[in-house]
Chains A and B, each alone.
Chain A
Amino acid sequence: MSANDVLDVLNVQRDDLTQPAKKKARSEAAPAPKSGISRELYNLIGANTPPILVNMGNNRMKDRKLRVSPWTKMPFVPNERAGKAPTLHHWEKGAKELLMETSKDKPYYFDKFVVSVDIPEMVDEELFNQFMVEIKERQKQMAQKFKTSLHNKVEAQKANPLGASSALTVKKEDAPTVVKEEPTKDDSVKEASGETPLVSSNGKEPTELADQQETEAENKPLEAIDAMDVDEEEASGPLPWTYEETKLLFEFCKNFELKWFVINDRFPLKYGRSLEDLKEQFYAMCLMIMTHKSIGNPSLIDSLKAFLKPAEIERKHYLLNLLKRTPSEIAEESLLVIEARRFEIAAKKMLMERANLLSLLDLPQAALSVQQYQSSQGLGNLYSQLMIMDKNQRKKSQQKVLQMASDPVPPPIPVAASSLHKRDFQTHLQQYLSGYLKQQPQRPEDSAIQQLLSKKLTAKEEEAYGLFYHANERINPGVILRSTQRLSGLQQRQSVFRAVNNMLQELDIPTAGGTAWKPNMPTRKTMAKYDELTKAVVALLEVKKVKDKLEAEIELIKSQRELR
């Protein structure tokens, strides 16, 4: 049963000719032999083919999508070179045969992430002993130097309590140099393994140190030195580093990728080494090995040299004290910091003002001024600006005329220097100066406009030049076309507006047409009149509306009365 049969039963006439030719062409092209239910369904749609393209499954795109791409469970051996690695299984995309071919001698994808740190090889025992002697010598020297420098500082500080802050800054310089060196060294040694805990924690220290309270700085150094004395005695005391221990240390450094906290945690307790001991020995030994074999870049060697255990310990003392502050101390400190900030800001502001003033005094901005006033907008700006200045100046000059006479003559300042974009920075002095300049009889660059302005114009002349004083109107900067001017009379509702327009058309008043409804010749006077006119019309229409309403009401009441 086709759609036509249905239409036949329903007695609906159908005119085949009304079908557009294009559609027919398409339905002719489509007929693929259908069978079964789909044919019946298709017939129900009838000749009136819907605008959708019915996909009957002969689409090649779809076929392609339906094809499943094979995944194969493949065995693989991670880090095969290490030997004895287990065989694991994961799923890979692709046919088994293909994968077998390609992956035969390809290393596991993630093997390239297996990296280890680059640490110099430990030397043999003989060389080690030789090195140790040298290291000890060098350390002694450095520690001595550090101690004397510290002592000096403390002494200086004691002698001159006011200079405490300077001593503090010197100290600050000391600690961070060590700190800064370390990360660079770590980086270069570690290379591939991205994160360095040392960097992150150390990076903060200089600022933290800067927060250090001065009082603490005064007390601490002595303690630190005392601690160092003890330490040094120990270092030179019973347990120097043996070959085995150092070898173990190098092994640990390699295994734990120079993560010092972990190395310190796992290093056998029986040796009783602190984190600093470990670092000192490792860095010193690395330095010796590198210079001996002349490997490693100079900056790395320099930073290795810079490591100093007493300085490290002292730095930690400072940090520790920082953490020991009580809440009230912290509050006080933050108050101080805020205060300091405020001072800083004030100082900055003053400097800026001074700089502005200076630039104002010696920088004539001649090049700018010509360009700027060639456009009509520039002229407008200049004009309004001059008017303002004129007003200011007149007021001031009345008061200060006498004083000014005795002032020395300042260097000439171009008009552009006080142009609008500088208004923000105009100081009193600047205003005063520009005002004063106005008073000068011979100006080097009097423009025609200024001459014109200085003349007293008659009303007629003003009219002719199109000059107009906006007494108490507010004017927006920039150029406005009078035809687009916003007249107060035109601020009406749309419906009222339409009525006004009709009225004007009735009265045969020419307008620019369209939606603008403006006079063809928008001079100031016409515009003013036009404004007046629209307002009058609006008022009239309003009156008429009220009148109509009242009349209607009267009618209503009358008719009601009559009915009664």
Chain B
Amino acid sequence: MSTNAGPVYAGDEINALVLDPGTYTTRIGYSGDDFPKTIVPSLYAKDEDNSIHFDASLDYAKTKRQVLPILKDSLIEDWEGAVAQYRHYFDDVLKVDYEEQPILITEPVWGTTEYRQKLIETFYEEFNFPALYLAKTPSCVSFQQGRLTCLVVDIGHDSVSVTPVVDGICLLRNLMKTHYAGLFLNDQIKDTLVSSFSKLDLSPTYKIKTKTAVEYPLAAQYVARDLPESITESYDQTQQRRIFTEAKELLLETPEKRLNSSNAQQAAAYKEELKKEENERTMEAPLGQVFNTCLERFAWADLLFDPASYPFKDQSLADKYLPNSGELSLSSPYDDYRPIKRARKGETGPATPTPAPDSADPNKIRGLSQLVNHAISNIDIDLRTAIASTIIVTGGSSMIPQLNDRLNAELLSANPALKIKIHASGTSLERTTQAWMGGSVLASLGTFHQMWVSKAEYEEAGAERILTQRFR
């Protein structure tokens, strides 16, 4: 620490590592940087001989090579893959000196106590870091934005989550989460392409050698590549995913209002209005078929706001997404057992922010606006105005054009007396790395360094104490 500069911005660089594992990508870098050193897909390639590979190997077609996801729902599922991935990037890419640097790991708000314990213990065991810290993703985002009291709306890959943050601490009981996010969009796009563009060949790029561009209904003209035998399903799926991701980033645009409103006549009129030539966009499938979308691309973006109106045509996909209202029956790490249902008839509405579920229809499906709105209305009245005027929208899927405008309009009309303000930072790269950046800010603050937990302290104080009091 330079004695002159230190006190001014309260920073003290200790070169900590910051790891932000997401379902779609994992971001690793050094604290104090404004961008992660590596952003890699949260996938690993596993060969027949159980050897694990990363980087270019993920895209290389090889006999019986599986490409597997490491996380699900922002939580590490495949520990073997996770440890291998982190080790690969720590050792081979960043060349980390374990003894000297602590590591800050971001975690979602919904991790169970067992999961968090496993995460910490795995890290102490597998890597030789002097200390570590678990930071909650919404807290990090709030730090990145410099707004310590806010509502963080994270529209990621596997989940949409809404978390109030007060003074940089997440309110666990007000958390809302659905799975109508990026992956859901992928599946919906696939569903639509398969059903309404039946002649479209959705083979991924790795299968072809050369191609000629043709207008859609025509059959694809291409030369196939010689491929090794028995390419696995998981590899093929991962490659195919790119088509949908590309479609998402290229075509989607949020319509101003719901496409399927209850008034059928109005809805039809609005759809008609959107069916203009200037709203048409084309995209080239890997095999060279150029197809044209117009209403579809609006409908896809509308999905996030109104998932109930777009049932899957493919039953297997429909089974994957059960109706989701965003309510979580979450027991916080502070509850050692499920609450006894006490007969509190006079539950004095505003005084108790504990969400009273819309018990009328527990299976109700909540779109983005309803989710945020519900979260706002569950917050203590003294906090509500502050929270509603600092809504931070983050996550890669929030980059769909006009998404913020639509969200803003719907929230305003639902809460006329509240001052609603949405804050979203500019580029798509920033939206996906916001949590990492917040972690980087945190880990380079001088006042933060007392928060690191060493293995010795962890063992002495016990998992429960550390989890509830330090990594809060």
Contacts and interface: CB of A to CB of B under 8 A. Distances in A.
A261 B348 CA distance: 16
Contact of A261 (B380, B452, B454, B457): B380
Nearest to A262: B169
B2 A201 contact: no
B102 A86 contact: yes
A275 B353 contact: yes
B323 interface: no
Contacts of A316: 350-351, 381-382
A197 B334 contact: no
A84 B450 contact: no
Nearest to A229: B346
B331 interface: yes
A88 B131 contact: yes
Contacts of A108: 449
B9 interface: no
A274 B383 CA distance: 15
A111 interface: yes
A268 B335 contact: yes
B344 to A, nearest CB: 6
A326 B416 contact: yes
Given A231-B346, A269-B335, A330-B416, A259 B167 contact: yes
Interface string A90-121: 11110000000000000011110110000000
A86 B454 contact: yes
B13 interface: yes
Interface string B344-368: 1110111111100000000000000
A259 B169 contact: yes
B270 to A, nearest CB: 23
B12 interface: yes
Interface in B22-65: none
B457 A84 contact: yes
A145 interface: no
B228 interface: no
A255 B469 contact: yes
Interface in A229-274: 230-231, 233-234, 239, 255-256, 259, 261-262, 264-270, 272, 274
B3 interface: yes
Given A78-B450, A275-B352, A265 B331 contact: no
Contact of A272 (B131, B344, B417): B344
A275 B454 contact: no
A322 B417 contact: yes
B422 to A, nearest CB: 19
A219 to B, nearest CB: 16
Interface residues on A, range: 35 or more
Contact of A319 (B166, B331, B348, B382): B382
A85 B130 CA distance: 9
A240 B324 CA distance: 37
Contacts of A82: 450
Given A256-B169, A265-B174, A274 B352 contact: yes
Interface in A189-226: 195, 197-198, 200-202, 204
A95 B409 CA distance: 60
Contact of A313 (B337, B338, B351, B469): B351
Contacts of A201: 382-383, 385-386
A89 B14 contact: yes
Contacts of A326: 416
B75 interface: no
A234 B345 CA distance: 9
Given A78-B452, A92-B1, A313 B348 contact: yes
A90 B339 contact: no
A300 B1 CA distance: 40
B149 interface: yes
A256 B6 CA distance: 27
Contact of A110 (B130, B167, B450): B450
A325 B169 contact: no
Contacts, number: 175
Given A84-B457, A85-B452, A86-B131, A231 B348 contact: yes
B167 A262 contact: yes
Contacts of A90: 1, 12-15
B252 to A, nearest CB: 31
Given A84-B457, A262-B171, A269 B331 contact: yes
Nearest to A114: B450
B350 A91 contact: no
Contact of A317 (B13, B171, B350, B472): B350
Interface in A387-402: none
Contacts of A233: 346
A528 to B, nearest CB: 70
A230 B166 contact: no
B339 to A, nearest CB: 4
B382 to A, nearest CB: 4
Nearest to A85: B454
Nearest to B131: A86
Interface string B322-336: 000000000110111
A320 interface: yes
B417 A259 contact: no
A269 B354 contact: yes
B382 A202 contact: yes
B348 A93 contact: no
Contacts of B338: 270
Nearest to B412: A327
A197 B344 CA distance: 28
B447 interface: yes
Contacts of B449: 78-79, 88, 108, 110
Nearest to A323: B417
B8 interface: no
A324 interface: yes
A87 B338 CA distance: 39
A265 B172 contact: yes
A420 interface: no
Given A84-B460, A269-B335, A325-B416, A110 B10 contact: yes
Nearest to B449: A78
A186 interface: no
A248 B186 CA distance: 47
Nearest to A111: B450
A227 to B, nearest CB: 5
Contacts of B386: 197, 200-201
Interface in B162-219: 166-167, 169, 171-174
A276 interface: yes
B384 interface: yes
B338 to A, nearest CB: 8
B78 interface: no
Contact of B344 (A110, A234, A268): A234
Nearest to B457: A84
B149 A197 contact: yes
A293 B1 CA distance: 44
Contacts of B469: 255
A5 B174 CA distance: 91
A450 to B, nearest CB: 65
A227 B453 CA distance: 46
Contact of A270 (B169, B337, B446): B337
Given A86-B457, A90-B13, 14 more contacts: A78-B450, A108-B449, A201-B383, A234-B344, A239-B342, A261-B171, A262-B166, A265-B174, A268-B336, A274-B351, A275-B351, A316-B381, A320-B381, A323-B381
Interface of A: 78-79, 82-93, 108-111, 113-114, 195, 197-198, 200-202, 204, 227, 230-231, 233-234, 239, 255-256, 259, 261-262, 264-270, 272, 274-276, 312-313, 316-317, 319-320, 322-327, 330
23 contacts: A84-B457, A85-B452, A92-B2, A109-B3, A110-B12, A198-B382, A200-B386, A201-B385, A202-B382, A227-B346, A230-B348, A256-B472, A259-B166, A261-B382, A261-B383, A264-B353, A268-B334, A269-B332, A272-B344, A275-B352, A313-B350, A320-B350, A323-B415
| A-B complex: 9 closest residue pairs judged by Cβ atoms | A230-B346, A86-B131, A86-B454, A110-B446, A84-B457, A79-B450, A78-B449, A269-B339, A86-B130
